């Protein structure tokens, strides 16, 4: 498939429209905008919309208001409306674009990707990179966009640029491996990871070696490195424990994984991601009551980054237990909080027949 290209005139239009913008907006404050964003964080979407209406009536900063409206639209799965509002926010930028404008562009590009408008998403990343030529995240995301758009050669070039800009970023290399594997190029992804282990980086940590070994399928090596990392004084323990348990899961040894997670949580319970993984192991062991308890303990921590996964997995545990009434009730709550989840919509229809 031909790679999408833009001529220099088109680039100038893109920079003018998306990043530099024109027009003016009032700078009379943004109290209602901030309140609306807080409502979004709490999944109170009607209240958020009311706050934005109040912000508009009060003449609050249009650049911030349109951006916030776009975020609300994305949360509701209203992607066309989100695009429109992000573009309005960018058009209200005057002067040199700041960090918030670049952040809005990332939102815009991601929304285009949700709409499967990959050419449009690529244009946005082109515009970002025209002004931030060393933005490794933009190169990675543009590479992902090209991969989705069947431009394997272009994707590889962007992934290579991202890695060159961040030579010791092993998390980035793992993300690229995952993307290539999902796109049917697992061997290429493995070559990237193997190169990490073969480069004899003296600063490579045991955790990083364990990560790479895990994704290469070398579970014995992964466990060995991760056990070493777990006993190191200055290493952050939670990500080590999470991956160490998953080495057991990968081999079907759920008892080992459960032991790793429970031992850690007994010492430090403030980790919803580990409660989530523990619950998934308990589902696989048929301990649905224990799984529900784990998911609820994770949800009680109030971390919005993990609430979505925890709540959906709790629904799954109730389904496996045959408690469809409770699963249905929780699904109704989930759908109110995450209306953009099309898979959950289908699952809600399934539960309605039970």
- Chosen domain end from 101, 132, 163: 132
- Separation of alpha carbons 211 and 240, rounded Å: 9
In a domain, 184, yes or no: no
pLDDT of residue 266: 97
Residue 162, both tokens: 């991202």
In a domain, 337, yes or no: yes
In a domain, 11, yes or no: yes
Q: How confident is residue 29, by pLDDT bands cut at 50, 70 and 90?
A: confident
* Contact call for residues 143 and 125 (beta carbons, < 8 A): no
Q: What is the DSSP string of 223-256?
A: HHHHHHHHT-TTS-HHHHHHHHHHHHHHTT-HHH
Is 69's pLDDT higher than 90? yes
pLDDT of residue 50: 97
In a domain, 235, yes or no: no
pLDDT of residue 201: 80
In a domain, 54, yes or no: yes
* Contact call for residues 130 and 142 (beta carbons, < 8 A): no
Average confidence (pLDDT) over 265-283:
97
Average confidence (pLDDT) over 103-132:
96
What is the largest distance, in Å, between two alpha-carbon atoms of the chain?
62
In a domain, 297, yes or no: yes
Q: How many domains does the chain have?
A: 2
pTM score: 0.84
* Percent of the chain clearing pLDDT 90 (strictly above): 79
User: Residue 156 class from Cβ within 10 Å (0-12 exposed, 13-18 middle, 19+ buried)?
Assistant: middle
* Percent of the chain clearing pLDDT 70 (strictly above): 89
* Contact call for residues 211 and 196 (beta carbons, < 8 A): no
In a domain, 249, yes or no: no
- Chosen domain end from 87, 112, 132: 132
The least confident of 15-19, 34-38, 115-119, 193-197 is 15-19
Is 295's pLDDT higher than 80? yes
Domain that holds residue 43: 7-132
Residue 202, both tokens: 């003296």
pLDDT of residue 104: 95
Residue 57, both tokens: 């009536």
Per-residue pLDDT reduced to its tens digit, 298-326: 999 999 889 999 999 999 999 999 999 99
Q: How confident is residue 24, by pLDDT bands cut at 50, 70 and 90?
A: very low
- Chosen domain end from 132, 152, 169: 132
Is 12's pLDDT higher than 60? no
The conformation of residue 149, written as its DSSP 8-state character, comes to T
Supply the CATH number for residue 284's domain.
1.25.40.10
Q: How confident is residue 1, by pLDDT bands cut at 50, 70 and 90?
A: very low
- Separation of alpha carbons 294 and 310, rounded Å: 9
- Separation of alpha carbons 139 and 83, rounded Å: 21
């Amino acid at each position: 498939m031909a790679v999408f290209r833009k001529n220099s005139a088109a680039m100038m239009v893109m920079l003018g429209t998306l990043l530099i913008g024109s027009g003016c907006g009032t700078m009379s404050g943004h109290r209602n905008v901030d309140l609306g964003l807080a409502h979004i964080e709490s999944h109170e979407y009607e209240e958020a919309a009311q706050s934005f209406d109040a912000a508009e009536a009060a003449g609050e900063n249009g650049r911030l208001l349109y951006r916030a409206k776009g975020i609300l639209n994305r949360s509701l799965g209203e992607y066309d409306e989100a695009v429109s509002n992000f573009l309005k926010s960018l058009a209200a930028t005057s002067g040199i674009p700041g960090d918030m404008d670049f952040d809005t562009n990332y939102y815009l590009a991601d929304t285009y990707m949700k709409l499967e408008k990959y050419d449009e998403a690529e244009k946005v990343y082109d515009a970002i990179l025209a002004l931030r030529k060393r933005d490794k995240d933009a190169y990675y995301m543009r590479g992902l966009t090209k991969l989705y758009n069947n431009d394997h050669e272009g994707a590889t070039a962007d992934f290579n640029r991202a890695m060159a800009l961040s030579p010791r970023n092993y998390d980035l290399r793992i993300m690229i491996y995952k993307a290539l594997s999902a796109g049917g190029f697992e061997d290429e992804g493995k070559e990237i990871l193997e190169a990490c282990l073969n480069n004899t980086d003296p600063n490579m940590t045991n955790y990083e070696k364990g990560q790479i070994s895990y994704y290469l399928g070398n579970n014995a090596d992964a466990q060995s490195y991760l056990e070493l990392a777990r006993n190191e004084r200055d290493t952050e323990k939670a990500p080590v424990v999470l991956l160490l348990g998953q080495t057991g899961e990968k081999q079907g040894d759920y008892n080992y994984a459960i032991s790793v997670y429970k031992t850690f949580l007994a010492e430090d319970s403030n980790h919803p991601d580990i409660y989530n993984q523990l619950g998934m192991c308990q589902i696989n062991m048929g301990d649905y009551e224990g799984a529900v308890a784990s998911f609820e303990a994770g949800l009680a921590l109030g971390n919005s980054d993990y609430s979505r996964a925890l709540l959906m997995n709790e629904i799954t545990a109730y389904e496996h237990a045959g408690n469809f009434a409770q699963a249905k009730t929780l699904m109704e709550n989930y759908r109110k909080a995450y209306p953009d989840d099309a898979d959950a919509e289908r699952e809600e229809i399934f539960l309605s027949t039970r």
